[in-house]
Amino acid sequence: MGGVGDSLLDDASGRLDEALRYARVSEDALERLRYPKSTLKVSIPVRMDDGSLRTFRGYRVRYDDSRGPTKGGIRFHPNVNVDEVSTLAFWMTIKCAVLDLPFGGAKGGITVDPKQLSKLELERLSRGYIDAVADFIGPDVDVPAPDVYTNALIMGWMMDEYSIIRRAHVPAVITGKPLPMGGSRGRDTATADGGFDVIEALRGKLIPADRPTAAVQGFGNVGATIALLLHEAGYRVVAVSDSQGAIFCGGGLHIPTVKKIKEESRHLEAAYCHGSVGDLANHDRLSNEELLSLDVDVLVPAALENAITEANAETIRAPVILELANGPVSSAADRALARRGVTVIPDVLANAGGVTVSYFEWAQNRTGLYWSAQKVRERLRERMVGEALALWDFAAEHGIPLRTAAYAQALTRIGEAADAKGRKEFYTSA
């Protein structure tokens, strides 16, 4: 096992052990969760633009389907390997159960650096992947979605290829599609929207300030959208960063301007504090490490995994961390932060808005009835707020971190579904 997969797997299983003490889950259900339900390894031959043939390795892992068809993204990345995909599939099993979605968990990926491919090569690879996994997926079986370096365009090609194979229009086989191909309104901003709903639901319990301050690490799809939502809701977003570095403004950055400049120039560095909005003084640029240790009310990691580890956990001064990235806080850091009373709103809750609207997309595809942006937004808010408040109460009742509460809740739900088919006590009682 190599790369990211190791740490993710270690983290996932360590956190599971902790949560088990608070979950109502039978031995039988746990036995089912020990290994992925099924793992498919494929090779995908692709005709390259220069006429040569190249073979890529691809994977699809369905971890557990006790609660419904499995659901999870497809990642295109040079580090993709079967262990990483399995771990992420396990993670999706938990996330879907935290939000009470009628899905199990899965994940897929291709070991490739997509930036090295032409657009036509990328299309042939995406269609080739679907040709290879077509018998393994389906609207009632396993429903993929975008993940790292895959997007709506790729989902569209994949849905089209599956429909060609099945000789039928099958939009519900995949989510995160372009709108004209059966995508859902609100899917593009769903992850940040859901994270915003969670922080707003818990705001009265966590943040005393009237005009709270926030710092956002990562200014991509998720980070830029949450920064804008917080700004519009009256937070002072004092710092944001991308892979090149961070910008800071004590009076609050004017996020619509920062976003516009970033979109035009593609560099956050080009953005400066806007006119009268704040006092730049000498603090207009920060390193990424400095952003993480700012004294703000809410810190939002929205970039990559393992941003906060044992090495920098002691430098974190924010009392609340909203995890919009997947796995931005390692388990060792989690323990250090908990000792210091920092509240971590875990990824399996905070960034589950994306998979929740994917569920809405699947439901719309299956009924053929399409919802307005407002209806999607209301249904997302209802679900995010409901689950956030329930987890808050559960965590408070047991005096445990929200992450442990989320894992315990998910394990209980998965266990109930698995046990509904019968458990040891039933078969061994007279």
Q: Which of 20, 165, 280, 304 binds ligand NAD (CB under 6 A)?
A: 304
Coil, strand or helix at 28: helix
Q: Which of 302, 337, 380, 391 binds ligand NAD (CB under 6 A)?
A: 302
With contacts defined by CB under 6 A, name the span among 216-224, 314-322, 330-338, 386-394 that binds ligand NAD.
Answer: 216-224
Q: Give bridge partners of residue 43 from the DSSP assignment.
A: 57
Q: Is 221 in the site for ligand NAD (CB under 6 A)?
A: yes
227 Cβ contact list (under 8 Å, min separation 6): 214, 216, 219, 237, 240, 253, 255, 258, 259, 300
Q: Which of 61, 174, 181, 222 binds ligand NAD (CB under 6 A)?
A: 222
Q: Is 119 designated active site?
A: no
Instruction: Give the whole-angstrom CA distance, residue 273 versus residue 247.
Output: 9
Question: Tokens in use for 342?
Answer: 């920092």
Q: Which of 43, 243, 287, 315 binds ligand NAD (CB under 6 A)?
A: 243
Q: Is 159 in the site for ligand NAD (CB under 6 A)?
A: no
With contacts defined by CB under 6 A, name the span among 20-28, 96-104, 160-168, 296-304 that binds ligand NAD.
Answer: 296-304
With contacts defined by CB under 6 A, name the span among 40-48, 101-109, 318-326, 371-379 that binds ligand NAD.
Answer: 318-326
Residue among 16, 111, 120, 1 nearest 64 (CA): 16
Q: Is 356 in the site for ligand NAD (CB under 6 A)?
A: no
Q: How far is the CB of 183 from ligand NAD (least distance, A)?
A: 13
Strands 53-64 and 104-111: what pairing?
Answer: antiparallel
Q: Is 183 in the site for ligand NAD (CB under 6 A)?
A: no
Q: Is 319 in the site for ligand NAD (CB under 6 A)?
A: no
| Residue nearest ligand NAD, CB atom distance | 220
> Which residue among 37, 71, 95, 107 is the active-site one?
107
Question: Tokens in use for 143?
Answer: 């429903």
DSSP summary character for residue 176: S
Q: In 243-348, at which residue ranges do the beta strands (DSSP E only) sit? A: 245-248, 285-286, 298-301, 320-322, 343-345
With contacts defined by CB under 6 A, name the span among 297-305, 310-318, 388-396, 420-428 that binds ligand NAD.
Answer: 297-305
79 Cβ contact list (under 8 Å, min separation 6): 2, 3, 4, 111
Instruction: Give the whole-angstrom CA distance, residue 388 versus residue 203.
Output: 11
Q: Is 351 in the site for ligand NAD (CB under 6 A)?
A: yes
Q: Tell me which residues in 119-158 interact with ligand NAD (CB under 6 A).
A: none
Q: Is 175 in the site for ligand NAD (CB under 6 A)?
A: no
Residue among 74, 106, 61, 77 nearest 3 (CA): 77
Q: Is 194 in the site for ligand NAD (CB under 6 A)?
A: no
Q: How far is the CB of 223 from ligand NAD (least distance, A)?
A: 6
Q: Which of 93, 126, 184, 217 binds ligand NAD (CB under 6 A)?
A: 217
Q: Which of 70, 150, 241, 404 binds ligand NAD (CB under 6 A)?
A: 241
Q: How far is the CB of 17 from ligand NAD (least distance, A)?
A: 24
Instruction: Give the whole-angstrom CA distance, residue 387 versus residue 400.
Output: 16
Strands 53-64 and 38-47: what pairing?
Answer: antiparallel
What x-and-dash track marks residues 78-117 binding ligand NAD by CB under 6 A?
----------------------------------------
Other residues' Cβ atoms within 10 Å of the Cβ of residue 251: 14
Q: Is 247 in the site for ligand NAD (CB under 6 A)?
A: no
1 Cβ contact list (under 8 Å, min separation 6): 9, 81, 83
Q: Which of 150, 213, 326, 356 binds ligand NAD (CB under 6 A)?
A: 326
Run of H or E including 54: strand 53-64
CB 316 within 8 A of CB 342: yes
Q: Tell me which residues in 253-272 interact with ligand NAD (CB under 6 A).
A: none
Q: Which of 97, 325, 376, 395 binds ligand NAD (CB under 6 A)?
A: 325
Site residues, ligand NAD (CB under 6 A)? 191, 217-223, 241-243, 288, 302-304, 324-326, 351, 354
- So which residues are the catalytic ones? 107
